[in-house]
Chain A
């Protein structure tokens, strides 16, 4: 009956249309082994049979009395992804041999992956029914295939009903057949943890809700992977009896990852179900720092104050962290929830051995304290041994520093790091005239052209004494970056800069910078 319904579709698609593989990259990584190399194309062997012959022979073998032949046929048919072949495979799903059923399921998965998904509801339901297969490998394959089966399983439909004597059509939402739902419920307590995990993960998409005691049981699953998935689904069952108690019991789970996940789950639940905040409070006493501190910060996100003692513990935990990764990273980026209480933590992390931790600590520390207002706050950050830290701090400071004194500027100029000296050049913009006068020369003779060119740009901007002569001379520099900075400076001043530039162009019409200068002037409406 089922076959008769889909056959027209099969023939409509045609037998000759073969799709070997999907056109897009699979989202999963494929690992394969066994040799390769020196791949050279070779001519194809002749005498291959037609697609029809191949499929006919395979379909005959699929009915063979020999298990091995049926297995071979099922494996081969996986390579020909089209509706007709899928139908052949589905017909063999109830084979008496589990070896054949396994091969059939793997080949069907291959079809789904290779651009021949099955949407026919009856066929998809048949595949899904293998979630109750006696063989664990078949059940695993079926459960892993659930996301691909859902479009077919959940197809909505139309029904004709009588309203006040009138016949009308109305839509019927997609729903899992009751017997299949029973199988799915049974799969949630399957002896195999992979099956339990897969069905649990996708049961919401299958549009059924399990009984609360089943969920509670899964929350206590001995397999950590199942448990982690159950925590992901906790919101749906949070209000049901037993869920809270089981989640509270998880605060004593031996796996740190589970307790950390519990903290994260409860943070989310705590917004809608205030009683769950109690679990976070319990977790703040967890013996593992990362769990306790994460919970404390999560409580802060929910508006609760964090004690000084806990802040000390956060400092201790982050100070011991090897870097800004994993849970330490999650915790660090959650610290903003503490508001000004986090200042002390950031300050304590400024000397952290990890560059990533130091750089973020410096950025947060300076942001919270508005440290850019005082050079003494950021001076040490620019002496950091790691460029990552220096660059992060410089990004924050640029455009924010409003003043700089002689000593601080001199120290920056003496830095062995180019980006710091370049920053010193930028600070000429906010330094007092006298300070600029004393310091700019050191920057102009810097070994790095970026520092020199930045200095020139700053001097033009503030129109320091003698800047025009300086820029005019710099046009003759060998370094193109310097010439460019000098040109830009002169272009920016109509009164004295442009005449100096025009004079240069008359004297050196063929210099490298001259062509660019002429073009710039022409764009300004000046014909040199």
Chain B
């Protein structure tokens, strides 16, 4: 089994070359099938078209050859786990994080033998609760994921991936431009404040908040906030479903105004990328209102929706998803 996995990886490494504009070279070795863990239980499949759409997109945009039909497995003890190199898990679609010792052992062996696990929605702010329609990027895995993987690799905690990690530029580099978005050159990509925030803080150089676990010096598992919401396309190529942006905005007097502005909710302390803490103001169950940053600056959360926002978000997530899956095969 070990030899077969290693053989597969050597083939994949041989067939891909990376770089934004370079064509990926691939031998006709048959389609690569991505596995998806989908357990029985009281859960809602929110983005059923996401992974197939992304796999199809990868086939369109690169010379990679993915089977757009994911192989669904219900249990990690499924013997087919060891026949395919990448396991995708949408943590929001798991009814719970209860795995038998047999399953955990299988996953540990899988990762040790070269398998790659992508935990989508493996990062999720707890104050979002069960609301699957929101994401809030963080730099730490969700508590359930941490407890799960502590059983597998007690000495290997998740660590944040740096912004310059290769995973963010495996195939695409940077943020989508007008040409990629199929916009005329003179068309406005995003509202000014949104574009500035996206480029400087939200997704600088096309990066995102991700944490990972290394096994034998190889990145064997990554967790990210939910990305699948950005992968779906309908049969004519239009993105589905719509996505909105949450943007931090400032104003000249917010430092004074927001300190005393009327507020009837709760505050939550959250850890940032730099390890410092933000203080988020929100009414539980609703969208965050504003934030006091550790520098003492106050900023307000504004929400933007519309075709251009949604198309941009989808393009970013699709590019990011491609980078992750192609990285998984290359490494």
Contact = CB atoms under 8 A, between A and B. Distances in A.
Query: Interface size for chain B: under 10, 10 to 19, 20 to 34, or 35 or more residues?
Result: 35 or more
A325 B69 contact: yes
A144 B262 CA distance: 30
B35 interface: no
B251 A68 contact: yes
Nearest to B127: A39
Interface stretch (B6-14, B163-171, B298-306): B298-306
Interface in B272-297: 272-273, 278-280, 283, 285-291
Interface in A221-277: 222-225, 228, 255-258, 260-261, 264
A38 B271 contact: yes
A34 B283 contact: no
B253 A69 contact: yes
Given A42-B279, A140-B308, A30 B287 contact: yes
Contact of A137 (B52, B59, B192, B302): B192
Interface stretch (B18-26, B105-113, B147-155, B233-241): B233-241
B1 interface: no
A29 B131 CA distance: 10
Interface string A308-334: 000000000000001111110110000
A21 B286 contact: yes
Contacts of A126: none
B202 A75 contact: no
Given A35-B273, A76-B261, A44 B266 contact: yes
Given A30-B135, A39-B268, A21 B283 contact: yes
A524 interface: no
Nearest to B69: A323
Nearest to A66: B252
Contacts of B30: 353
Contacts of B131: 25
A47 interface: yes
A328 to B, nearest CB: 9
Contacts of A374: none
Contacts of A228: 236, 238
Contacts of B53: 325-326
B132 to A, nearest CB: 8
Contact of A36 (B137, B191, B257, B307): B137
A198 B278 contact: no
Interface string A471-514: 00000000000000000000000000000000000000000000
Nearest to A44: B267
B243 A31 contact: yes
A144 B306 contact: yes
B59 A322 contact: yes
Contacts of B283: 20-21
B270 A37 contact: yes
A356 interface: yes
Contact of A354 (B59, B67, B136, B187): B67
B254 interface: yes
A51 interface: yes
A194 B252 contact: no
B68 A33 contact: no
A101 interface: no
B258 interface: yes
Contact of A49 (B182, B183, B260): B260
Interface in A60-92: 61, 66, 68-69, 71-72, 75-76, 78-80
Interface of B: 30-31, 52-53, 55-56, 59, 66-69, 125-127, 131-140, 182-184, 187-188, 191-193, 201-203, 208-209, 226, 229-230, 233, 235-238, 241-246, 248-249, 251-254, 257-273, 278-280, 283, 285-291, 300-308, 310-311, 313
Interface of A: 18, 20-23, 25-42, 44-45, 47-51, 53-55, 57-58, 61, 66, 68-69, 71-72, 75-76, 78-80, 102, 106-107, 109-110, 113-114, 136-137, 140-141, 144, 192-194, 197-198, 222-225, 228, 255-258, 260-261, 264, 322-327, 329-330, 353-356
Given A49-B261, A50-B262, A140-B188, 8 more contacts: A33-B203, A35-B270, A75-B302, A79-B289, A106-B303, A110-B303, A136-B188, A325-B53
Closest 4 CB pairs of A and B: A72-B251, A21-B286, A32-B246, A35-B272
22 contacts: A20-B289, A21-B285, A23-B285, A25-B133, A31-B313, A38-B269, A38-B270, A40-B269, A49-B262, A57-B257, A68-B253, A69-B252, A72-B254, A136-B188, A192-B187, A192-B188, A193-B183, A224-B182, A257-B237, A257-B238, A323-B69, A325-B69
